[in-house]
């Protein structure tokens, strides 16, 4: 086998950064390191998606919110991405009887964006390539690397092995990270992964007469406890629906007719919008996909390697934060690079110290929301909870801020958001306790002050009633 040995370390005065994985986080990271003047090499196992005919991704569109936008802004990409996103100002809750209710995300300027994953990835790769100090290596799959020497082994386009060295390895190779494998062999590295019993399946709602079939500027939700569907709009006026349900339920539906029967029961309003024949076909196009939650720590290995994005923290998608958190990783790392003057031996441990608690917090929140939605969130409950949250926020705007608001529309550190949420719960419970006590005391006072005249009820009447009461 042809074995090329290329040491790409510090040939010039700037260090070489190898970004492994050219997905969303890898491509954004390439921009960050290139902007700082490093020699950036991106290694991506797939072919260049800008040239690919069929793009098989994990989901077609994603919700982009404040954290992700801030990270894009830092490399000058916010406007470009936002201009191709579709604002979603509210959720649209679909009840089983077909009733729809909108619940705004916040005030007028508070909206999230539906963005196309493939387009976002392409734009970020092209942006990274505008820097002369970036080199893209597609069709390069990392096989393994040596944590002692830092040497990485890739399988190149012709099936040849290439060994490559860099000054810093940035592992952005997703939930099943090959870079992370070497971390697992180290002492004092913590790792856990959990597959949830649910899978997901994507279905497309085509346009009708050249227009959207549902209102476009909403995140459409069909909450049905263990079954749930979500739909996000696309620029081509389609919606991508994502059906979440337990794998064992997916397995029960084996024929087109069973699928229609199932949809008639749970999502009847979507059948004419997807189309009976399309639904029967689309449903079986791909098997349901699994969802995994991965937590680990630390995120660095010596002064040589660091993990970001799903490679560091795969989260279940029930907060719409996976990519946003991954993008914020890049932003936080960049802030620390400024503070510690690009000294990797100081930056890497500091990044782990700062970022682990926050990424673990969003992993926990997403899992908590999954459990919560599955346990008792139908459309009535969802509407009720959001109204209560919004009401409390309106009467105490500075004291009570809904959790999703802190997560989605601020850069409040995720772990601080959880703390504040617990604190708010206490405030609300104290408020309820005080109200209840006040009601009790007030009631007692009124009873003492104005005692009701019991003698008005005739005693013999009571006696007859008691005698007539025969429990057996
Ligand atoms: P990936 O996107 O997985 O990219 C990893 C890249 O590394 C890929 O290009 C892969 O080909 C490459 N790679 C892998 N192994 C190797 C190797 N050995 N050598 C070289 N390259 C390699 N997040 C949100 O913020 N909002 C949402 O609305 C949202 N919705 C979601 C819905 C669903 C159904 C799912 C499953 C996820 C959702 N997410 C969402 C999460 C989001 O998809 C991920 O967090 C995001 O894609 C992570 O980006 P990444 O670059 O870290 O990993
Ligand atoms: C799941 C899959 C509504 C895209 C969480 C809300 C999601 C997304 C919510 C997917 C829900 C759930 C929030 C946003 C967003 C809500 C959020 C979830 C985008 C708490 C493409 N979630 N998602 N919460 O508040 O903060 O609207 O696949 F149904 S965006 Cl599960 Cl804000």
pLDDT in tens, 165-202: 999 999 999 999 999 999 999 999 999 999 999 999 99
Contact 230, 88 (CB under 8 A): no
Average pLDDT over the chain reads 92
Residue 239: predicted pLDDT: 97
Contact 105, 408 (CB under 8 A): yes
Quick one: CA dihedral 181, 187, 190, 196, positive or negative?
positive
**Rounded CA separation 313/193 (Å):** 10
pLDDT reading at 470 higher than 60: no
Tell me the best of 26, 46, 113 to mutate to test the pocket of ligand 1, counting ligand atoms within 8 Å of each CB and taking the most. Answer: 26
Q: Which of 56-60, 73-77, 302-306, 434-438 has the lowest mean pLDDT?
A: 56-60
Q: Which of 45-59, 269-283, 304-318 has the lowest mean pLDDT?
A: 45-59
Minimal CA–CA distance to 163: which of 150, 174, 154, 172? 154
Q: Which of 153-162, 207-216, 289-298, 394-403 has the lowest mean pLDDT?
A: 394-403
Site residues for ligand 1, CB cut-off 6 Å = 20-26, 43-46, 58-59, 62-63, 141-142, 172-174, 178, 200, 242, 291, 309-311, 317, 320-324, 326
Please tell me the pTM assigned to this model.
Answer: 0.91
**Rounded CA separation 213/205 (Å):** 8
Residue 260: predicted pLDDT: 98
First to last CA, the chain: 91
Residue 8: predicted pLDDT: 61
Residue 229 tokens read as 């569907």
Contact 44, 26 (CB under 8 A): yes
Helix (H, G, I), strand (E, B) or coil at 236: coil
**Rounded CA separation 263/267 (Å):** 5
Which numbered ligand comes closest to the C-alpha of 173?
A: 1
Q: What pLDDT band is residue 11 in, cutting at 50, 70 and 90?
A: low
Q: What pLDDT band is residue 398 in, cutting at 50, 70 and 90?
A: confident
User: For residue 100, how far is its CA from the centre of ligand 1 (angstroms)?
Assistant: 32
**pLDDT tens digits, one per residue of 78-98:** 999 999 999 999 999 999 999
**pLDDT tens digits, one per residue of 277-291:** 999 999 999 999 999
pLDDT reading at 58 higher than 70: no
Residue 400: predicted pLDDT: 87
Nearest atom within ligand 1 for CA of residue 26 = 51
């Amino acid at each position: 086998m042809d074995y090329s040995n290329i040491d790409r370390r510090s040939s010039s005065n700037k260090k070489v950064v190898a970004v492994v994985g050219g997905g969303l986080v890898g491509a954004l990271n390439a921009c960050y390191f290139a902007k700082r003047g490093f020699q950036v090499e991106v290694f991506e196992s797939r072919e260049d998606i800008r040239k690919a005919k069929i793009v098989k991704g994990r989901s077609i569109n994603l919700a982009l919110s404040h954290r992700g936008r801030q990270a894009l802004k830092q490399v000058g990409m916010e406007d470009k991405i936002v201009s191709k996103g579709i604002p979603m100002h509210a959720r649209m809750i679909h009840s089983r009887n077909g009733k729809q209710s909108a619940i705004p995300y916040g005030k007028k300027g508070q909206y999230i964006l539906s963005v196309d994953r493939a387009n976002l990835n392409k734009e970020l790769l092209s942006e990274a390539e505008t820097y002369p100090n970036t080199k893209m290596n597609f069709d390069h799959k990392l096989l393994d690397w040596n944590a002692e020497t830092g040497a990485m082994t890739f399988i190149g386009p012709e099936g040849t092995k290439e060994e490559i060295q860099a000054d810093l390895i940035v592992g952005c190779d997703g939930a099943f990270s090959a870079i992370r494998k070497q971390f697992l062999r180290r002492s004092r590295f913590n790792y856990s992964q959990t597959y949830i019993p649910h899978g997901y399946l994507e279905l497309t709602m085509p346009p009708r007469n050249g227009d959207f079939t549902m209102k476009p500027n909403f995140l459409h939700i069909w909450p049905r406890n263990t079954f749930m569907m979500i739909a996000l709009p696309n620029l081509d006026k389609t919606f991508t629906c994502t059906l979440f349900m337990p794998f064992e339920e997916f397995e029960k539906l084996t024929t087109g007719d069973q699928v229609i029967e199932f949809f008639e029961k749970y999502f009847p309003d979507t059948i004419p919008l997807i189309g009976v024949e399309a639904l029967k076909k689309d449903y079986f196009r791909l098997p349901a996909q699994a969802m995994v939650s991965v937590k680990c720590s630390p995120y660095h290995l010596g002064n040589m390697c660091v993990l970001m994005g799903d490679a560091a923290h795969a989260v279940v998608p029930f907060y719409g934060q996976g990519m946003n958190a991954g993008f914020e990783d890049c932003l936080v790392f960049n802030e620390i690079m400024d503070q510690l003057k690009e000294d990797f031996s100081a930056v890497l441990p500091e990044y782990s110290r700062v970022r682990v608690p926050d990424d673990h917090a969003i992993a926990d929140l997403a899992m908590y929301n999954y459990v919560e939605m599955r346990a008792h969130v139908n459309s009535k409950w969802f509407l009720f909870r959001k109204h209560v949250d919004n009401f409390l926020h309106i009467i105490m705007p500075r004291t009570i801020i809904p959790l999703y608001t802190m997560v989605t529309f601020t850069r409040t550190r995720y772990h601080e958001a959880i703390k504040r949420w617990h604190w708010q719960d206490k405030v609300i419970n104290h408020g309820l306790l005080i109200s209840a006590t006040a009601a009790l005391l007030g009631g007692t006072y009124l009873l003492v002050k104005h005692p009701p005249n019991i003698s008005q009820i005739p005693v013999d009447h009571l006696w007859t009633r008691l005698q007539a009461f025969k429990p057996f």
